[in-house]
């Protein structure tokens, strides 16, 4: 069987590409090959089931700052097809959207099913074939279509002039593309939370507060050296982020941690997810300024206990755990706290170090750093520089973003530009 365009992958990027092609050139026969029994599975679970379709950042240059990999390459594409275009697309299709306070964009329905229904309705309206249980076994040059490709499934062969690879983080597809000459950047997890077992986090699950975070080089001096150097050089962090942190039953999550995991995807993989993360629970304070304020409180609130006098705007349970970590007993009054204990509390508040031992996937929103090497893609069309008439969309390429709708925006933009190139050239 021959199609004008075969799209491999029935996810967000695949459907968006198919719809854009069919709208731009209705004469083309377009088919989506999905290996599973259902389509749009990742769309369904994204954003906690609400589908965070994009982020309300309308400046292309600012938008690229949310992509640890792909920042430079996506600037041109975002100028050509950006956030406003995506919002217009969905609203024109009858899916009204809303912008939340943090900039994330969701359907007003608060249901990802609105996006899924939109895609299924459009593919039916445009005559796009959606073929499920069609796992692609191989790609090869077609002997039936000039300059085209043959796609082999379990027991059938299909031909088309153009193919679009929108398979996300499929190692099998990456391997096939590698055999055809593409360079694959080895995949590593990008969005994940930190597994931490520490008494200071006990009974704090569900607490969220603003912090600054940092990860330093693992071995900056011999651990056997116990002498403190007077002229110790201040270390520079390898990674930093700020924003809300969420305490979970297994450790730490929230935007601040997820930003660290995205920007540090390769570094933390090199660390084998065994490292220390430093938390400043008081972003507006240094250790010194926090200590000075604590000393003032010691004078003013001398008769009160430290436990009951929360000195900073942080959750009370967190305050109590950090006071305990500073070896200050529950019945100790401020007047009786030594300067050393004050210093220790200031450090717990501003330089709290936790040992991370492993990671957990962020909900079902598994994002991978890695994929088709960006040097091998023409970002005007998202066509392969190695394989003529092969295009890419979505996470199959080495682009990933922090959480907040940015990964979907990459998918929509790549899908649109590939679709326009295909529709005018087919």
Sequence-ordered list of residues with C-beta below 8 angstroms from that of 96, at least 6 positions apart, any chain: 107, 108
Phi, psi of 398 (to 5 degrees): -80, 65
Tens digit of each residue's pLDDT (9 = 90 or more) over 106-146: 999 999 999 999 999 999 999 999 999 999 999 999 999 99
Predicted local distance difference test score (pLDDT) of residue 363: 62
The label of the residue with tokens 């969309």 reads: 393
Give the pLDDT mean for 147-157.
Answer: 93
Q: pLDDT class for 222, splitting at 50, 70, 90?
A: very low
Tens digit of each residue's pLDDT (9 = 90 or more) over 345-388: 999 999 999 999 999 986 655 688 999 999 999 999 999 999 99
DSSP classification of residue 196: -
Contact 45, 203 (CB under 8 A): no
Predicted local distance difference test score (pLDDT) of residue 426: 80
Buried b (16+ CB within 10 A) or exposed e, 172-202: ebbebbeeeebebbebbbbbbbbbbeeebbe
Tens digit of each residue's pLDDT (9 = 90 or more) over 46-61: 988 999 999 999 999 9
Q: CA-CA distance, 77 to 144, in Å (whole number)?
A: 33
Predicted local distance difference test score (pLDDT) of residue 253: 95
Predicted local distance difference test score (pLDDT) of residue 364: 54
Q: CA-CA distance, 418 to 379, in Å (whole number)?
A: 9
Tens digit of each residue's pLDDT (9 = 90 or more) over 233-290: 457 899 999 999 999 999 999 999 999 999 999 999 999 999 999 999 999 999 999 9
Q: CA-CA distance, 10 to 285, in Å (whole number)?
A: 49
Q: Check pLDDT > 90 for residue 219.
A: no
Region label for 282, one of left (φ > 0), alpha (ψ between -120 and 50) or beta (otherwise): beta
β 274-280/208-215 pair status: antiparallel
Tens digit of each residue's pLDDT (9 = 90 or more) over 156-172: 999 999 999 999 999 99
229/35: higher pLDDT: 35
Region label for 116, one of left (φ > 0), alpha (ψ between -120 and 50) or beta (otherwise): alpha
Q: CA-CA distance, 264 to 115, in Å (whole number)?
A: 31
Q: CA-CA distance, 349 to 345, in Å (whole number)?
A: 6
Q: Check pLDDT > 50 for residue 223.
A: no
Long-range contact pairs involving 221-224 (C-beta distance under 8 Å, separation at least 24)? none
DSSP classification of residue 108: T
β 157-165/149-152 pair status: antiparallel
DSSP codes joined into one string, 341-383: HHHHHHHHHHSEEEEEE-EEE-TT---EEEEE-GGGEETTTTE
Contact 397, 371 (CB under 8 A): yes
Mean pLDDT for all residues in the chain: 94
Tens digit of each residue's pLDDT (9 = 90 or more) over 195-212: 999 999 999 999 999 999
- Per DSSP, the three-state class of 157 is strand
Contact 54, 405 (CB under 8 A): yes
Give the pLDDT mean for 67-80.
Answer: 98
* Residues β-bridged to residue 368: 189
Predicted local distance difference test score (pLDDT) of residue 224: 44
Q: CA-CA distance, 229 to 220, in Å (whole number)?
A: 13
């Amino acid at each position: 069987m021959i199609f004008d365009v075969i799209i491999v992958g029935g996810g967000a990027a695949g459907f968006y590409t198919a719809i854009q092609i069919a709208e731009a050139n209705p004469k083309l026969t377009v088919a989506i090959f999905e290996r599973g029994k259902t389509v749009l599975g990742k769309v369904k679970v994204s954003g906690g089931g609400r589908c965070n379709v994009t982020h309300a950042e309308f400046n292309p240059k600012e938008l690229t700052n949310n992509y640890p990999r792909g920042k430079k390459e996506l600037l041109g594409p975002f100028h050509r097809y950006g956030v406003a275009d995506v919002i217009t697309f969905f609203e024109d299709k009858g899916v009204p959207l809303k912008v939340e306070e943090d900039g994330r964009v969701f359907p007003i329905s608060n249901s990802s099913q609105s996006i899924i229904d939109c895609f299924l309705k459009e593919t039916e309206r445009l005559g796009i074939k959606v073929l499920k249980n069609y796992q692609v076994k191989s790609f090869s040059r077609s002997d039936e279509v000039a300059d085209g490709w043959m796609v082999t499934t379990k027991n059938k062969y299909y031909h088309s002039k153009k193919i679009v690879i929108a398979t996300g983080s499929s190692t099998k597809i990456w391997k096939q593309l590698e055999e055809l000459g593409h360079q694959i950047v080895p995949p590593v997890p990008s969005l994940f939370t930190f597994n931490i077992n520490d008494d200071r986090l006990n009974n704090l699950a569900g607490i969220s507060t603003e912090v600054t975070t940092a990860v330093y080089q693992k071995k900056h001096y011999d651990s056997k050296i116990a002498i403190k150097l007077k002229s110790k050089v201040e270390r520079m962090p390898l990674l930093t982020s700020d924003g809300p942190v969420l305490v979970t039953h297994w450790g730490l999550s929230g935007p601040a941690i997820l930003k660290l995991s995205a920007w540090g995807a390769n570094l933390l993989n090199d660390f084998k997810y065994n490292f220390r993360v430093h938390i400043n629970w008081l972003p507006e304070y240094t250790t010194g300024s926090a200590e000075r304020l604590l000393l003032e409180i010691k004078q003013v609130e001398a008769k009160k206990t430290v436990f009951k006098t929360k000195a900073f705007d942080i959750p009370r349970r967190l305050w109590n755990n950090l006071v305990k970590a500073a070896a200050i007993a529950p019945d100790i009054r401020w007047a009786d706290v030594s300067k050393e204990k004050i210093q220790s509390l200031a450090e717990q508040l501003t330089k709290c170090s936790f040992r991370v031992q492993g990671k957990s996937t962020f909900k079902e929103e598994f994002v991978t750093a890695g994929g088709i090497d960006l040097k091998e893609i023409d970002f005007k069309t998202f066509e392969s520089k190695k394989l003529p008439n092969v295009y890419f969309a979505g996470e199959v390429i080495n682009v990933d973003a922090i959480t907040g709708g940015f990964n979907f925006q990459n998918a929509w933009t790549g899908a649109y530009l590939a679709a326009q190139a295909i529709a005018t050239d087919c």
